[in-house]
Amino acid sequence: MRTAVTEMFGIDLPIFAFSHCRDVVLEASRAGGMGILGAAWMTPEELEVSLKWIDERIDGKPYGVDIVFPGTFAPLTDDRDPEKILPAGHRQFVNQLMDQAGIPPLPEDDAKAFAREHADKMKMTPSDSERSLQIALRHPSVKFIVSAMGAAPRHVVDLVHEHGLKVGALVGNIDHAMKQKEVGVDVLIAQGAEAGGHVGRVGSMVLWPQLVDAMAPIPVLAAGGIGRGRQFAAAMALGAAGAWCGSIWLGTRESDLTPVMRERLFEAKSEDAVVSKALTGKNCRILRSNYTEAWDKSADVKPLTFPLQSILGGEPLRRAERVRRMDYWTYAVGQIVGDMQQETSVRQIFAEMLGEYVEVMENLNAMLDE
């Protein structure tokens, strides 16, 4: 296939695979698409290790890195001791919730180490994200830097361009897209309300063509609700230059979710992927659980702002995960979760997506001929 983005990156298929897991990124680029590593939850050291690991295996094929550039929220200071930055009432709320559910606390030493490490991984200061960027720029197969949330600062965009890389950004409406255009992004990722993670309110069916028209000639990748060839074909019919998928890789054997987490996703219906502030403090589509419902129904204690709510959730969610109490676990996932039923692989998803795409085209052409 040939579109603006296959030309831009020299790839065979305009399918972009967002994942926090390096194995998914590697396999997606190997399959002819492009893997995008989500760096938001890694320390700079971890990012360096992951990029080195990918670079050594990817045979020069291109891949990307997705970085949070603080802009639309108050960045943290470097002092991020959870006991100092989280209100006591909020810590009590989550601890009580887990206690009442009979979920044992973490062993004390583990708890302290975990909380500190978890807060460190947030990397939510401008210097954090620029360190991650510098690391990404040193890795020769990284060809695409994506801003996960809001517009990256102009000097960041310029720096990426000076290195010969392209800049992308996720957007959920026209106003956000205009801001990205102003700072000079090369690719927009239009994320419909079906998507997992931080989402806007406009559904993919309406959002994608709106952005394609308003932002031309900037190519638009379609995100939100794509997991199979029919949806890939729909994205291309709606004028997208390619597809951006995230949730669908969570069910692959390359994903770093545990088998019990994957099972939980396989059981979920599309309507279990709800928009809530429970996980991050911003509207985020996540798997509904007792943890998310406790926040959504709480009248007194309200979710903290981003990224404090994410830091707050680290320990209780780790508690639930540790004893496999998945009824109190949650994870960012889109409505496509309702179609994920069993373990598969990145390669298999690519093969099925392409096979079904071709089938769809045959059906559509036959419909018109008759």
Nearest distance from residue 234's CB to a second copy, in Å?
Answer: 4
Identify the helix (H) or strand (E) that includes residue 222.
Answer: strand 220-223
Write each residue from 117 to 156 as x if it is in contact with a second copy (CB under 8 A), else as -, in one continuous string: ----------------------------------------
Note whether 358 binds a second copy by CB under 8 A: yes
Question: Does the footprint of a second copy cover residue 231 (CB under 8 A)?
Answer: yes
Residue 63's nearest CA partner among 195, 163, 166, 189 is 166
101, 253, 338, 345: residue in contact with a second copy (rule CB under 8 A): 338
DSSP 3-state of 333 = coil
d(CA 179, CA 262): 37
Task: Single out the residue of 209, 266, 343, 352 in contact with a second copy (rule: CB under 8 A).
Answer: 209
Using the rule CB under 8 A, which residue among 83, 117, 271, 327 binds a second copy?
Answer: 271
Query: Does residue 351 belong to the site contacting a second copy (CB under 8 A)?
Result: no
- Buried/exposed 325-363: b ≥16 CB within 10 Å, e otherwise: bbebbbbbbbbbbbebeeebbbeebbeebbebbeebeee
Distance CA 118, CA 311 (A): 7
CA distance 45 to 39: 11
Tokens representing 135?
């690391």
d(CA 369, CA 175): 41
Task: Tell me how far apart the alpha carbons of residues 76 and 281 are, in angstroms, rounded to a whole number.
Answer: 14
Measured from the CB of residue 21, what is the shortest distance to a second copy in angstroms? 23
The strand order across the sheet containing 273-276 reads 197-198, 284-287, 273-276
The beta strands (E) that lie in 61-192 are given as: 63-67, 142-147, 166-171, 187-191
For a second copy, the binding residue among 234, 261, 268, 278 (CB under 8 A) is: 234
By the rule CB under 8 A, 242 interacts with a second copy = no
C-alpha to C-alpha distance for 120 and 114, rounded to whole angstroms: 10
The binder of a second copy chosen from 204, 255, 276, 280 (CB under 8 A): 204
- 32 lines the binding site for a second copy (CB under 8 A): no
Q: Is 226 in the site for a second copy (CB under 8 A)?
A: yes
228 binds a second copy (CB under 8 A): yes
**Does residue number 302 form part of the binding site for a second copy (CB under 8 A)?**
no
Instruction: Quote the least distance from Cβ 6 to a second copy, whole Å.
Output: 9
Task: Please report how close the Cβ of residue 289 comes to a second copy at its closest, in angstroms.
Answer: 17
Residues lying near a second copy in the complex (CB under 8 A) are found at 1-3, 173-174, 192-194, 200-207, 209-210, 224-226, 228, 230-231, 233-239, 269-271, 274, 334-336, 338-339, 358, 360-361, 364-365, 367-368, 370
